[in-house]
Amino acid sequence: MNTFKTIMTIIFPFISFPYVSRILGVNVIGTVSYTESIVNYFLLFSSLGISAYGTREAARCRDDKSRLGKLVTELFVINLITMTVSYAAFGIFLKCTKNSYVGLMVVQSMIIFLTTVGMEWFFVATEDYRYLSLASIVCQLLALATLFAFVKNPRDYIIYAGVVVFATVGSGAVNYIYISRKIQLFSYPNLNLKRHIKPILIIFGTNLASAIYLNLDITMLGLMRGNNDVGLYTAAVKLYRASTKLLGCVSAVILPRISYYLSQNLKQEVENLVTKAGNYVLMLAIPAGLGLIAVNQPLIILFSGAKFKSASAALSILAIGVVFATLNGMLAWQILVPFKKEYVVFYSTLAGAITNFVTNILLIPLFGIKGASFTTVLSEIVVFAICIMNIKKLVQIKGVFKFIYQYLVASGGMLLTIYFLAYLSMGELLSLAIDVIVGVTVYFIILAIFKNNYLYEVLELGMNRIKKKDKM
pLDDT in tens, 261-284: 777 778 888 888 888 889 999 999
Q: Which whole-number Å values give the CA distances from 221 to 21, 215, 365, 368, in the listed order?
A: 19, 10, 9, 7
User: What pLDDT does 318 receive?
Assistant: 96
Confidence of residue 160 (pLDDT cuts 50, 70, 90): very high
**Mean of the pLDDT values across residues 213-230?**
86
Query: Is the confidence at residue 447, as pLDDT, over 90?
Result: yes
- Is the separation of the CB atoms in 144 and 13 below 8 Å? no
- Is the separation of the CB atoms in 121 and 50 below 8 Å? yes
Q: Which whole-number Å values give the CA distances from 299 to 76, 144, 296, in the listed order?
A: 42, 21, 5
pLDDT in tens, 110-123: 999 999 999 988 98
Query: Is the confidence at residue 2, as pLDDT, over 60?
Result: no
Confidence of residue 380 (pLDDT cuts 50, 70, 90): very high
- Cα(383)–Cα(379) distance, integer angstroms: 6
- Of the listed ranges 20-29, 141-150, 169-178, the least confidently predicted one is 169-178
User: What pLDDT does 413 receive?
Assistant: 96
pLDDT in tens, 402-412: 999 999 999 99
Q: How many CB atoms lie within 10 A of CB 462?
A: 10
**Mean of the pLDDT values across residues 242-247?**
86
**Mean of the pLDDT values across residues 296-309?**
90
- Is the separation of the CB atoms in 322 and 243 below 8 Å? yes
Query: Could you tell me which residue, 33 or 8, shows the higher pLDDT?
Result: 33
- Cα(458)–Cα(472) distance, integer angstroms: 22
User: What pLDDT does 6 receive?
Assistant: 65
User: What pLDDT does 354 receive?
Assistant: 92
Query: Is the confidence at residue 335, as pLDDT, over 70?
Result: yes
Q: How many CA atoms are closer than 13 Å to the CA of 340, on its beta-carbon side?
A: 7
Query: Is the confidence at residue 206, as pLDDT, over 70?
Result: yes
Rg from Cα positions in the chain: 22
**Mean of the pLDDT values across residues 60-81?**
88
User: What pLDDT does 260 receive?
Assistant: 74
Largest CA distance in the chain: 72
- Cα(345)–Cα(200) distance, integer angstroms: 13
User: What pLDDT does 388 receive?
Assistant: 93
What average pLDDT does the chain have?
88
Backbone angles phi, psi at 188, to 5 degrees: -120, 125
User: What pLDDT does 4 receive?
Assistant: 62
Confidence of residue 366 (pLDDT cuts 50, 70, 90): very high
Confidence of residue 342 (pLDDT cuts 50, 70, 90): confident
Confidence of residue 3 (pLDDT cuts 50, 70, 90): low
Angle of CA points 345, 349, 353, to nearest 5°: 170
**What 3-state class would DSSP assign to 61?**
coil
Query: Could you tell me which residue, 302 or 210, shows the higher pLDDT?
Result: 302
Query: Is the confidence at residue 231, as pLDDT, over 70?
Result: yes
Query: Is the confidence at residue 390, as pLDDT, over 90?
Result: yes
